[in-house]
Structure 1
Amino acid sequence: MKAITSLPLVGTVRRDGITYRVADPVPLDVVSGLIRESWCSRLVVSDARSGGDGPCEFTAMCVVDGEPFVLVGRIGGRR
Protein backbone atom coordinates (compact mmCIF):
# COMPACT_ATOMS: atom_id res chain seq x y z
CA MET A 1 0.00 0.00 0.00
CA LYS A 2 1.36 3.39 -0.92
CA ALA A 3 1.78 5.80 1.97
CA ILE A 4 -1.20 8.06 2.60
CA THR A 5 -0.32 11.48 3.96
CA SER A 6 -3.70 13.23 3.83
CA LEU A 7 -7.37 12.23 3.78
CA PRO A 8 -10.51 14.24 3.02
CA LEU A 9 -12.12 15.81 6.11
CA VAL A 10 -9.46 14.73 8.63
CA GLY A 11 -6.33 16.17 7.03
CA THR A 12 -2.81 14.96 7.75
CA VAL A 13 -2.32 11.32 8.76
CA ARG A 14 0.76 9.26 9.57
CA ARG A 15 1.37 5.54 9.44
CA ASP A 16 1.43 3.98 12.91
CA GLY A 17 2.09 0.26 12.50
CA ILE A 18 -0.85 -1.25 10.63
CA THR A 19 -3.04 1.79 11.18
CA TYR A 20 -3.06 5.41 10.16
CA ARG A 21 -3.33 8.04 12.89
CA VAL A 22 -4.76 11.52 12.35
CA ALA A 23 -2.16 14.13 13.32
CA ASP A 24 -4.51 16.62 15.01
CA PRO A 25 -7.72 16.20 17.03
CA VAL A 26 -10.78 16.04 14.78
CA PRO A 27 -13.96 18.00 15.62
CA LEU A 28 -16.95 15.82 16.54
CA ASP A 29 -19.05 17.03 13.59
CA VAL A 30 -16.26 15.96 11.20
CA VAL A 31 -15.97 12.55 12.88
CA SER A 32 -19.72 12.01 12.55
CA GLY A 33 -19.46 12.96 8.87
CA LEU A 34 -16.89 10.24 8.16
CA ILE A 35 -19.53 7.52 7.93
CA ARG A 36 -21.09 9.34 4.96
CA GLU A 37 -17.82 9.18 3.03
CA SER A 38 -17.57 6.45 0.38
CA TRP A 39 -14.10 5.44 1.59
CA CYS A 40 -15.22 4.89 5.22
CA SER A 41 -17.35 1.82 5.98
CA ARG A 42 -17.43 1.54 9.77
CA LEU A 43 -16.94 4.03 12.59
CA VAL A 44 -16.50 3.33 16.30
CA VAL A 45 -16.26 6.15 18.86
CA SER A 46 -14.93 5.56 22.37
CA ASP A 47 -15.31 7.85 25.33
CA ALA A 48 -12.43 9.02 27.53
CA ARG A 49 -10.22 6.33 28.99
CA SER A 50 -11.01 5.03 32.45
CA GLY A 51 -10.66 7.74 35.03
CA GLY A 52 -11.38 10.40 32.42
CA ASP A 53 -7.67 11.06 31.90
CA GLY A 54 -7.60 10.58 28.14
CA PRO A 55 -9.33 12.04 25.11
CA CYS A 56 -12.25 10.51 23.25
CA GLU A 57 -11.09 8.59 20.20
CA PHE A 58 -12.49 7.15 17.00
CA THR A 59 -11.60 4.16 14.87
CA ALA A 60 -12.74 3.89 11.26
CA MET A 61 -12.47 1.04 8.77
CA CYS A 62 -11.47 2.60 5.45
CA VAL A 63 -10.59 1.69 1.87
CA VAL A 64 -8.62 4.06 -0.37
CA ASP A 65 -7.45 3.05 -3.85
CA GLY A 66 -8.65 -0.50 -3.16
CA GLU A 67 -6.47 -0.85 -0.04
CA PRO A 68 -8.18 -1.39 3.34
CA PHE A 69 -6.76 0.19 6.49
CA VAL A 70 -7.76 1.33 9.96
CA LEU A 71 -7.86 5.05 10.74
CA VAL A 72 -7.63 6.22 14.37
CA GLY A 73 -7.68 9.66 15.91
CA ARG A 74 -8.60 11.87 18.84
CA ILE A 75 -11.84 13.79 18.98
CA GLY A 76 -11.63 17.48 19.81
CA GLY A 77 -10.47 20.72 18.33
CA ARG A 78 -12.43 23.14 16.21
CA ARG A 79 -13.06 23.64 12.55
Structure 2
Amino acid sequence: MSKPISSLPLVGTVHRDGVAYRVADPVPIDVVSGLIRESWCSRLVVTDAKSGGASASEFTAMCVVDGEPFVLVGRIGGRR
Protein backbone atom coordinates (compact mmCIF):
# COMPACT_ATOMS: atom_id res chain seq x y z
CA MET A 1 0.00 0.00 0.00
CA SER A 2 1.21 3.45 -0.78
CA LYS A 3 0.19 4.92 2.58
CA PRO A 4 0.07 2.69 5.68
CA ILE A 5 -3.32 2.39 7.33
CA SER A 6 -3.49 3.24 11.03
CA SER A 7 -7.26 3.19 11.60
CA LEU A 8 -10.37 1.75 9.94
CA PRO A 9 -14.08 2.45 10.47
CA LEU A 10 -15.77 0.15 13.02
CA VAL A 11 -12.59 -1.65 14.15
CA GLY A 12 -10.36 1.26 15.13
CA THR A 13 -6.58 1.10 15.35
CA VAL A 14 -4.75 -1.35 13.08
CA HIS A 15 -1.08 -2.11 12.51
CA ARG A 16 0.88 -3.91 9.83
CA ASP A 17 1.50 -7.57 10.70
CA GLY A 18 3.50 -9.13 7.87
CA VAL A 19 1.35 -9.02 4.74
CA ALA A 20 -1.86 -8.27 6.67
CA TYR A 21 -3.21 -5.57 8.93
CA ARG A 22 -4.13 -6.64 12.46
CA VAL A 23 -6.72 -4.90 14.62
CA ALA A 24 -5.07 -3.73 17.84
CA ASP A 25 -7.90 -4.62 20.25
CA PRO A 26 -10.44 -7.46 20.30
CA VAL A 27 -13.54 -6.59 18.25
CA PRO A 28 -17.10 -7.30 19.53
CA ILE A 29 -18.94 -9.95 17.50
CA ASP A 30 -21.65 -7.49 16.41
CA VAL A 31 -18.98 -5.23 14.92
CA VAL A 32 -17.35 -8.19 13.15
CA SER A 33 -20.69 -9.19 11.63
CA GLY A 34 -21.19 -5.58 10.50
CA LEU A 35 -17.95 -5.60 8.51
CA ILE A 36 -19.54 -7.49 5.63
CA ARG A 37 -21.96 -4.59 5.11
CA GLU A 38 -19.08 -2.15 4.64
CA SER A 39 -18.27 -1.27 1.01
CA TRP A 40 -14.52 -1.64 1.68
CA CYS A 41 -14.77 -5.13 3.17
CA SER A 42 -15.67 -8.55 1.73
CA ARG A 43 -15.06 -12.27 2.24
CA LEU A 44 -15.35 -12.40 5.98
CA VAL A 45 -14.18 -15.64 7.63
CA VAL A 46 -14.59 -16.34 11.35
CA THR A 47 -12.74 -19.11 13.21
CA ASP A 48 -13.85 -20.61 16.52
CA ALA A 49 -11.80 -20.46 19.67
CA LYS A 50 -9.82 -23.57 20.51
CA SER A 51 -10.94 -25.57 23.53
CA GLY A 52 -9.14 -24.84 26.75
CA GLY A 53 -8.42 -21.26 25.72
CA ALA A 54 -5.47 -22.23 23.49
CA SER A 55 -6.50 -19.48 21.05
CA ALA A 56 -9.28 -16.92 20.79
CA SER A 57 -11.88 -16.65 18.03
CA GLU A 58 -10.55 -14.65 15.11
CA PHE A 59 -11.76 -13.11 11.88
CA THR A 60 -10.12 -12.55 8.52
CA ALA A 61 -11.52 -10.21 5.88
CA MET A 62 -10.51 -9.21 2.39
CA CYS A 63 -10.59 -5.42 2.15
CA VAL A 64 -9.91 -2.64 -0.35
CA VAL A 65 -9.12 0.94 0.68
CA ASP A 66 -8.13 3.60 -1.88
CA GLY A 67 -8.00 0.90 -4.56
CA GLU A 68 -5.44 -1.18 -2.64
CA PRO A 69 -6.44 -4.69 -1.51
CA PHE A 70 -5.28 -6.08 1.84
CA VAL A 71 -6.14 -8.69 4.44
CA LEU A 72 -7.55 -7.60 7.80
CA VAL A 73 -7.28 -9.94 10.80
CA GLY A 74 -8.31 -9.62 14.41
CA ARG A 75 -9.47 -11.28 17.59
CA ILE A 76 -13.14 -11.45 18.46
CA GLY A 77 -14.16 -10.34 21.94
CA GLY A 78 -14.25 -7.16 23.89
CA ARG A 79 -17.20 -4.89 24.45
CA ARG A 80 -18.50 -1.75 22.83
Structure 2 unpaired stretches of 5+:
none
The separation in 2 between residues aligned to 1:41 and 1:31, in whole angstroms, is 12
TM-score of the superposed pair, with normalisation by structure 1 = 0.95
9-18 vs 51-60, greater mean Cα deviation: 51-60
The alignment yields a C-alpha RMSD, in angstroms, of: 1.0
- Tell me the matched-pair count: 79
List aligned pairs for 1:1-79, cutoff 5 A: 1=1, 2-49=3-50, 51-79=52-80
TM-score of the superposed pair, with normalisation by structure 2 = 0.94
Deviation at 1:52, TM superposition (A): 4.0
